[in-house]
Structures are given as C-alpha cells and as structure tokens.
Amino acid sequence: NTRLIKKNAFNGCTQLTYIYSSENKSKPALPSGLASQSDITIGESAFQGCTSLKNFSMEFLNGGNTISFGKYCFKGCTDLTELVYPDNLFTAGIGAFMDCTKLKKVTLGAGCQSIDDETFCNCIGLEKVTYKGAPTSDVSVQLPDNFTRVGSKAFMGTAISSIQLPSELNTLGAM
C-alpha cells in the first residue's frame, strides 16, 4: 500500500507556508489517511520553489513503513530553516533540499543511512547536520555509525566546516 504526493504537485506554490492535518491545525502534518501505515512517496519536485514554506518537521511521517523523497522535492524552498527527518526516511532523493538558502540545521532520523548527491547543495546557511541521540559536539556534521554513503556534492556551497565520518561508510562522493 503506497501513498503518493505526485511529481510537481505543489511546485511553484510561492504562498504555501504550512501543511496542516485536518485533525491538528497546530502541527504541520499530512492527513492521517496519507501518513497511515503505508509506504509514502513524495514525488520529484513536489514542493520545489515553495519559497514561503517554513520549518517543516516531518515527524508526523513516523509510523509509516518507509518514506521516499523524489529528486528535487524541496529544492528552492528558501524559507525552510530547520528539518527533522522521520525515522523511516532512509535517504532523500538527489538534490532534495538543494538551494534551501535559509536552512541552518538538519536532524537525521534513526533509519537514515545515506545522504544522496547534492542533497544540501547550495544551502548556504547550513551549519549543522546531526542525528537523533547524537552526543553534543562542535563538529558541523555528525553521522551515525550505521551510515553508509555521502553522495557527491552533498554539502557543496554550505557553511559546513567539519565532518565526522563513521567507520561503516562505504561511499564518499566528490565534495
């Protein structure tokens, strides 16, 4: 059972600021029918260019089976400042958050094992990437021990100054 937000569904919706569940208007969320116990796919460029989209916690997606983000799904969402990956998002698609220029902090979920090519490329404000339960550290990017891949140009054009690589890392793309 797969739930889908189709390719380009909200592409260029420059006035879109939040997504609310009909059950709880105080917390950004998808309707419970979409975020139920099923696989969730956010299609390629689904929210690309939503320049007013604010802090978008994806915690509401926890509990589904798996989540996949298509290429460039949040590219150019220039008002996003912080992201919290749900535990069942293993990787985001190529360039998923590219050009999110105000993005400062990303917290990876427990299931995240890779960062794809150009995921945070040109996120010029990005200073910190960590994971849930990580010890406090001055390192800009902390990756969990089960992390296996950092794609090419994943952090190109960011404010990242240091990366702690895990021992299990199999692939490190061109930076």
Decide: 46 and 11 in contact? Cβ < 8 Å. Answer: yes
List, for the chain, all residue ranges whose pLDDT scores fall below the cut of 50: 21-24, 31-32, 35
pLDDT tens by residue, 159-175: 999 999 988 899 999 87
CA 105 to chain centre: 11
Decide: 84 and 58 in contact? Cβ < 8 Å. Answer: yes
Give pLDDT, residue 22: 47
Residue type, 10: F
Gyration radius of the chain's alpha carbons: 15
Torsion over CA of 50, 91, 116 and 55, rounded to 10 degrees? Answer: 30
DSSP 48-85: TT-TT---EE-GGGTTSS-EEE-TTTTTT-TT--EEE-
39 CB-near residues (< 8 Å, 6+ apart): 1, 2, 3, 64, 65, 66, 67, 68
Give pLDDT, residue 154: 95
pTM (2 d.p.): 0.86
